[in-house]
Structure formats: structure tokens, C-alpha cells
A and B are shown apart, each in its own frame.
Chain A
Amino acid sequence: MVKQQIERRGVKDTVVLKAMRTVKRHAFVPASQAGNAYEDRPLPIGYGQTISQPYIVAYMTEVIKPQSNFKVLEIGTGSGYQAAVLSAIVKEVYTIEIIPELGKSATEQLKKADCKNVQVKTGDGYHGWKEHAPYDAIVVTAAAEYIPPPLISQLKEGGKMVIPVGSSFMTQMLILVEKKKDTATTKSLLPVAFVPLTRKK
């Protein structure tokens, strides 16, 4: 999976690649999907949610340039897979899931995977997690049509936030938010090898 789907597409950060190799994806998908766990696509995990395709998880992780001393907030724990990948790289991961059932199963899976530096909270991600703020990076995995103001205020100066946009069953576009001098700018990132769509190959 890592070589074919992730390295080949340009994810180079060795720390991220190592984490992607270490974390067992099949442990975070529903039993009915275990056979598809390492396929190059998003998978449904119930409650209208999906676990992103492995490449997107790797790309989103690489984009925030994670360091071992980082404190990262994740909005939308979902299956817990993204949190597990982050936990293998950074110092602390705080993750919030709004759907209690998903929060509970993610907590169990993360415990099984021995992710001791992850804290899961069930609740509304809009307010972030003030007690542990500010964060070096925020990873939003739950698509929202707006970026909650409290999240931006909980981001450190120079911090990065990454948000996927688009149908959760497709390779999504990512929005990278960077906070500099009290302003926030965004960059659209396209995770697929890009040739402008109007130009013929």
C-alpha cells in the first residue's frame, strides 16, 4: 500500500511513510470492510462517514509538516485511523468526534493500537479543545462548509490547518490554512498528479 499508493504519488516525508507502515489500517475499518482495508479508496464506516483513502491520510499528515514535539488537534475522529497515524509521529493528539458511537469505537481501537498519546472527546468540534490550545496543527477530517472561528484562534502563530473538500467517496481536494500575523490564508492543494484539465496530454 505505502509503496504503490503513497510513495509513488509523491509523499516523501520518511516519518509519515513510517507511520503509514506501522499503523494497521484494517484495525480501524468495520469488519465487513476488512478485506478492502488496504485498497486505494475511501471506505464507509457507518453513520454516513468514511475513512479516507490511505493516500489522503498520508498527504494530510505530510502537509502539516509534523514534528515530534507537536501538539495536534483533530476534528472528526471517525474511525480513529488519522489520529493513530498522527500519534505515531507527534507528541500529543487531541481528537473530537461528534457521533458518540464513533467516538467510543475509535477510543477502543486507539487503545488496542496502544496509542497512549491520543485523547478522544465526544462533542461538538466547533469550539475546538480550549484546555489544550494552542495547537501546532489542526487536522479537520469532518467536512464543514465553514471553518469555525474558535479553531483559528486555537492555532499557534505559524500553525497549519488542513481540511478536505469534496465528496468523501472521491479523491478530495485539500484546503491548507496557514496562520501568520493574525491573518489566515488558504491554499488549495490537489493531491493527484496535476495536469490542468483543459490541456490534452
Chain B
Amino acid sequence: MVYIAIRGRLLLSLGMLSAAIIAFQLALMQVLSIVQWHHFAYMVISMALLGFGAGGTLLSLFRQRLLKRIHWLLPVLMISCGITMSLVIYVSQFAFIRFDSYLLFANYAHIGRLLLTYLLFFIPFLLGALAIGLIFDHYVALIGKVYFANLLGSAAGGLLLLALLYFLLPHRLPAFISFLPVIAGTMIIPVDHESSRFKNKVALFLFAFIAFISCTGSIIIPPQLQLSQFKDISKALLLPDARIKLEKASPYGPIQAVTSPVLRYAPGLSLLASQPVNASTAVFINGDWVGAVTGSSQPDTAFILNYTSFDLPYRMADRKDVLVLQAGAGIAVAHALSHHATQVVAVEPNAILVAALKHELAADNDSLFYQPAVTVHTQEPRNFLFSDTTHYDLISLPVAGSFGGSAGLYSLHEQFILTKEAFLSMWPRLKEGGAISITAWMDYPARNPLKLLATLTEALEQLNIRQPQHHIAAIRSWGTISFVVTKSALTGTEIRNIRNFCNQWQFDPALLPGLQPTERARYHQLQDSSFFQNMDQLLSTGRDSLYADYDFNIRPAIDNSPYFSQFIRWKSLPRLAEYFGNRSIPFFEIGYVLVVITLVQIALISFVLVLLPLFKPGWKDKSKPGVLLYFGGIGLGYMFVEMVFIQHFTFYFGHPVYAAAAVITALLLFSGLGSFVSGRLEGKRKLLLLVFTVIIVLLFIYAAVLMPLLRQTAQSGLPVKLLIVFLLMAPLAFCMGIPFPAGLSQLARTQSPAIPWAWGLNGCMSVISAALATLIAVEAGFTMVMWLAAFAYCLPLIVLIFYLI
């Protein structure tokens, strides 16, 4: 076989193409997170990944014709994949294609634009997938090595992108990645193949040259991203004399600081406050508001938060040692200093943001992070709490929810800082007179304040505090509600101080021992008293009935399902639609609605793609159900495992990017090794049965012990954590790398026309399971996803037991 000679090159080329596809997928996600929101990123990418399903279908339908031309078709497909990668972002920014998330539900023309965007991003994936599918099919005899190259390349691509994120702004990423498929394709242009005519070779090299020009051009002139007009930063940039003061790449997304003489921040300011609200610089990540950067060396009478409900903890008692979790742009740190705190520990996971606040933005915050009282830790708050041994007078948390609601854009955002366990882990860090403070926006219908109170109450009960109401104080402005939870029962002095503060600045106490009903709405009346009734019910034995009856999910978030901002309950939708109108419904929780829509779309399209090849003549019927169960099951199971590991390790590493890097690398690397040895299992059905049994057993064990194990070792250093992760994942991932190539080998012996279908099927199921895993995690928790992954792996086991393929 002539191709044997270039097998090494081909494997390298396949690895590069696989790396490019994964890296391009992650880069597109970043780009779309900026121009829209990450749910759309997810939606479009899922759609694009259906390229694999479509690739499998095309191969099924035109298999012989495509395989016959594989020598020149492979380079053409790879080079085309590179060219399209370099161009799609430009095209997606044309006015007639650009869609807007919000307008999808307000202007139906945008649905058409969304479909065009789908189609556009689908192209490079389809081209790349076709190339990979052709290689899998043509070299099925070497499937172990081929799949190994594919997985190893994918792992490298994930890591490459993560490295690039530190140095390049997202709109520059695709251009760099697009070189990989072009190089991969150029490498395998058949130079010594007798049947390839000189003309063909010249044409291929010329094509490669044009591709290099295109990729280079997109590096020199990167596409300009047009952000949604509804993004926070878009609105800020419309302000008079607004300018972007700072722009930095970061693994969390690009950090931008905007300054304007009219940009001010004074959340829920007292209506009696008469001093001017000074302009501040605002920081955005991915175009979303992070916080205001305000000067900190002002006399405390001028510090704006002192005239908001945020000031409550400082009015109750002296707070000398303060811990600020998720410090963001640092306003809570400045607030603590304005009250003469002697030690302020700021914890902010985004090191690049901290560096910007220390350098480029130091003039805006009066060198806040250089103040002798301030210590900064670039760690995830939960991880910090695991290792910290200091005791504090106050632990300050970031605002829950956003002004006017975020239309549920954060519903699928994992917030480990707002779970019940998070509050439990803060408790030991408090001094005897210490307190935790957190503020939420008063939303309508009430969601954030109630869920917050439910979380605080349940946490206190778990700490064996019999009367939580003696430990919680809450006050309301016209727009905010601030909670303070005290370690010791509220003292008479504290209660008096709270009342004095409320009277001085016209806030209303909402929770306070000995509170009279008339006190609750003296200055800020609500439409009715149901909000207070609900608060009281949360503190009473009627809590569970409120959970059951309330139209939104206000049960506390837990580590197993850390979605604090997920409030939607499907059964309430008809009633809410009746209240607010059908058109309003998506805006309650756009994020969640979109993932559901995504899942439905993908399921429908996958169904079509998977069904199509079944109508192809000349294919024995008896193997179809077996192929469907076997490859569908491993596609579903593999992605479930990947998703649930990323979710778990986000908690562990405190950083979704590191978690994704660790999981993608470990999973793909060890799966690659499994794939490499899979050739030795050929025809050894019993061994394969054992592999599946090991996978299922391990998944059940992990479902039970993974989270506790991670909690036990959460305070370890990064090297130890990485070692633990690799040890945990190695056996499972190794075994999970075996079934796919082993299954394809089996098909090659008995039913080779089914190979592309099996591969496409596996791709489709992987995409479906990515969206499905998220929904299951939200509704039933991570553990359930793990169990379902185990169940998915039972399907191929059944196929093997009953000789269905």
C-alpha cells in the first residue's frame, strides 16, 4: 500500500487537524461569549459540531466515491477547513448575518440570521470532520493508532488554545488556529504517488499557497467584533466621551476598562444622600459588567457605599479584619478601608484583573491594592477558605443578581460561592462577633433575596443554630436588600445601631429581632406584604411548602448543583405567561431557555442525520440496532463524563479554564493510550466486556466518592491536585478510549459500510449529551449525570453480551 510510506506524516497531519478543530471550537466560544453571551456560544458550537454527524452521513452515502479520491481529497478538505476557519468570523460580522440574542424574541428576522450563523460555523467543522472520517474509514486496520493521533491532537489543541488565551484577544485566535489545518493538508499532498498527475499536484500546492495568504491576511487584519447593543459595555461606550482605557487578554475572557465622565456607580443610594456621585471607571469581562473602580483615598464621609444598604455590617459594629471574597474591581475593599479596617484580605481568582488593578488602573483606585492594610490572593474563594486559618470580623460577598435582572443570562453559571456549603465553610473563619454580609437587588418577582435568605437559614440550621432569625439582619433601600449573618446572636446594641442607621438614611429593616410589621415599609412601600410573608415563612416550619408552591425555584443551591441564578420552574410557565405575556417568558431566564432550545434543535437535526444513512441500500439490517446502541451509548457516556468532570474540577481548581484544561488533557491523553492498545483486544470479546464493566463500576464509585474526596483534598497545592486528578482519571479514561476503536475494528470485519455511520452517530450523540448533561446537572445535580453516564455505558455492554454487532 503506497500510503503506508506516509503513515507517520498522515498521523501527524491528523493530530494537527484534530488540534485545530478543538482549538477553533473553544476560540469560537470565546468570540461568541463577547459578541453575545456564552449560551449562544454554546448553542452555535453545538450546532457546528454536528459537522461530525453530517460528515458521517455524507461518508455513509458517498463512501466509495469519496474513498476512491482520498489522496487528493484529504489535503483539499484540510486546507479548505483552514481557509474557512480564517474567514468565518469576518463573514459572521456582516450586518445581514449578525444576530442578537435579545432580538431573537422581539424581532423574528433574527432567527433567520441565527440560522445563517449556524450554517456559517458549520462549514469548517464539516470539512474537518469529513477529512477525519475518511482517515478513520480508510485506515480502519490501524484504527487504534489513528484514533490515538486524533485524541492526542485534540488534547494538544485544547492546551494550545488555553495558552493562547493568555496572550491573544479572542478575535485574533481563529487566524492563528487556521494555519494548523492548512499545514496539515499541505503535509500530505501526495508528491510521490504515481497516479497523481503533475497538474493536480501543482493545483494542490497553489491552493495551499492561497490558503497561507488568507490565514496570514487574517492575522494582519483581524476581524472587528460587533458586540450586541444590549451588552453592558456597549451601553457604557455610548456615554459621552467614553473610551476604552484598558484591554487585556485573560483566560476568563478579555478584560476591558471603560472610562467616561458620566459613568457612576451608587447602587440603591439613599434618597437623602446629597453629595455628588463621582464618576468612576468600570471594568468589564467579555463585555459584561464586573464592577466600578473608585478612588479609595477619600475621607470616609465621601465614600458612596456608606450611603447605601451595603454599609449595614459596618454600622452594626467595628470591623477591623475584613475578608472580601470575589473582590472583582475592588470596591468592597475600598469600602472596608473607608471604615478604617486594619486588615483587608481580598480574594479574586482572576490574576490578570488583579494585575490590571495594581498597575494600569492604580491611578483610578488610588493604588488600592498597595495599601498596607490590603492583602490580595488570586485564588478561587472556596479554595481560599479551605486553606485559610485567619479569623475575621466580616466576610463580604459580591452582589447576588444584577440590577433590573440579567434576564436569566447567568442561570447556568456555576456559583460555588453562593451554595449552602460555601456559607458553611465561611463560618469557622468568623470571630465570635463576626458576620457575613451579602447584598441582592430587589427583583420582581422576588427571587434573589428569597433564595439568599433560604440559603442562609438552611446553613444556620445545619450549624445547629436553633433560631436563625436571631442571627440574621436585613435592611432594604428602594432597590437593594442587604443581609448580615452574625456568628453570635444579634445584640441589643447591634439592633439599636441598625435601627439608627435605617432612620438616618431612610432604609427599612426587613429582618430584625423584635421587628414590628409597620417598621418594614416605612420609607419604601411594596405593592403588598407577600414579600415579607415569604421571608417569614422561610424562617419558619412552612419553608418546604413555600419551596413547593412558589413560582420560582428558591431552594438553596448546593455544590452538587451550584446554579444559584437558576430560578425557572417549568410548571410555573403557563401562569407566568398569563401574568407577563408570552413574549416576556424568555427574558426570565434566557440562558436556560436557550439551552433547552439548543437541545431540541440538535436532537432533531441529529435524528435526521442519523436516520439518513439507514435508507442506503446494500446494508444488512440486523446490525443497525446494535451499531446504534453501541456507538450512541459510548458517545453519550463519554461526553457526560467529560462534562461532569469539568464541573467537579471547576470547584476543585477554582477556575473553569484550568478545570477544562486538566480534564481535556487527562481524558484525551489516557483515552488515546487506551485507543493505542485497543488493537490487542481485537476479537477478544471477553476482555472488552471487562473494560465496559470497569468503566461502569468506576463511574458508580466516583458518583459516590468524588465530591467528598475533592473536598478532603481541596486545600492541597496545585501539583498534588493535578496528581490526584490524573490518578483519578487515568484508569477510567484509559478504559474509555478502548470501546470506540474496538467497535470500529469489529465493524471493519463484519460490516464495513456501517463505519462512517457509526462514527457520525458517535459525534451526534456527543453533541446531544453536552447540552443534556448541563440540563441534568441543573435539574438533578452532578451525581445524576455520573449515574446516567454509567447507564449509557451499559448500552454497548448489552450489545456485546447479545452479539448485536
Contact = CB atoms under 8 A, between A and B. Distances in A.
B193 interface: no
A131 interface: no
Given A124-B240, A167-B407, A171-B580, A145 B267 contact: yes
Contacts of A148: 277
A185 interface: yes
Given A152-B271, A196-B530, A171 B102 contact: no
B262 interface: yes
A170 B579 CA distance: 11
A147 B106 contact: no
A194 B581 contact: no
Nearest to B238: A99
Contacts of A147: 269, 271, 478
A184 B264 contact: no
B273 interface: yes
A194 B107 contact: no
Contacts of B275: 149
A44 B234 CA distance: 15
Contact of A194 (B105, B528, B584, B587): B528
A192 B527 contact: no
Contact of B234 (A48, A177, A196, A201): A48
Contacts of B277: 126, 146, 148-149
A197 B269 contact: no
Interface in A154-191: 165-171, 173, 175, 177, 183-190
A190 B444 contact: yes
A184 B525 CA distance: 12
Interface in B159-200: none
A44 B103 contact: yes
B526 interface: yes
B230 interface: yes
A152 B441 CA distance: 22
B524 interface: yes
B288 to A, nearest CB: 13
Contacts of A10: none
A41 B230 contact: no
Contact of B479 (A152, A153, A165, A198): A165
Nearest to B109: A32
A17 interface: no
A98 interface: yes
A18 B587 CA distance: 31
A102 B533 CA distance: 43
Interface string B539-551: 0000000100111
B407 A48 contact: no
B107 A143 contact: no
Contact of B271 (A173, A177, A187, A194): A177
A200 B549 contact: yes
Contacts of A175: 478-479
Nearest to B260: A124
B300 interface: no
Given A44-B102, A126-B262, A149-B273, A167 B268 contact: no
B263 to A, nearest CB: 10
B404 interface: yes
Given A48-B229, A169-B105, A185 B523 contact: yes
Nearest to A183: B506
A167 B106 contact: no
A110 interface: no
Query: Do most interface residues of chain A lie in helix, strand or loop, or is the interface mixed?
Result: loop
Contacts of B264: 126, 146
B221 interface: no
Of B234, B550, B587, chain A has the most CB atoms within 10 Å of the CB of B587
A186 B106 contact: no
B478 A197 contact: no
A192 B580 contact: yes
Interface in B544-568: 546, 549-552
Query: Do most interface residues of chain B lie in helix, strand or loop, or is the interface mixed?
Result: loop
A171 B585 CA distance: 10
A146 B275 CA distance: 13
Interface in A115-130: 123-124, 126
A44 B676 CA distance: 56
B202 interface: no
A124 B530 CA distance: 37
B271 A170 contact: no
B525 A197 contact: no
B445 interface: yes
Interface in B205-259: 229-231, 234-235, 238-240
Of B105, B266, B404, B522, chain A has the most CB atoms within 10 Å of the CB of B404
A10 to B, nearest CB: 13
Contacts of B239: 98
B716 interface: no
Interface in B395-416: 403-405, 407
Contacts of A43: 106
B586 to A, nearest CB: 8
B464 interface: no
A40 interface: yes
A168 B404 contact: yes
Of A41, A98, A165, A189, chain B has the most CB atoms within 10 Å of the CB of A165
B101 to A, nearest CB: 11
A126 B280 CA distance: 14
Given A149-B274, A167-B407, A175-B478, A98 B525 contact: no
Given A146-B268, A183-B506, A197-B445, A167 B403 contact: no
Nearest to A175: B478
Contact of B551 (A40, A123, A187, A198): A198
Given A147-B271, A171-B584, A175-B478, A188 B527 contact: yes
Contacts of A200: 549
A92 B223 CA distance: 48
A33 B273 CA distance: 41
B534 interface: yes
Nearest to A33: B107
B287 to A, nearest CB: 12
B536 interface: no
A113 B277 CA distance: 37
B271 A184 contact: yes
A67 to B, nearest CB: 24
Contacts of A98: 238-240, 262
Nearest to B552: A197
B404 A143 contact: yes
Interface in B456-512: 478-479, 506
24 contacts: A47-B235, A48-B234, A124-B240, A145-B268, A145-B479, A146-B264, A146-B267, A146-B269, A165-B479, A166-B405, A167-B587, A169-B583, A170-B584, A171-B579, A171-B580, A173-B444, A177-B271, A183-B271, A185-B506, A188-B524, A189-B527, A192-B579, A194-B528, A196-B530
Given A146-B266, A184-B271, 12 more contacts: A47-B229, A123-B240, A145-B266, A147-B478, A149-B276, A167-B587, A186-B523, A186-B525, A188-B444, A188-B525, A196-B533, A200-B549
A-B interface, 4 closest residue pairs, ranked by CB to CB distance from nearest? A196-B530, A146-B266, A184-B271, A146-B269
Interface of B: 102-103, 105-107, 109, 229-231, 234-235, 238-240, 261-262, 264-269, 271-277, 403-405, 407, 441-445, 478-479, 506, 522-528, 530, 533-534, 546, 549-552, 575, 579-581, 583-584, 587-588
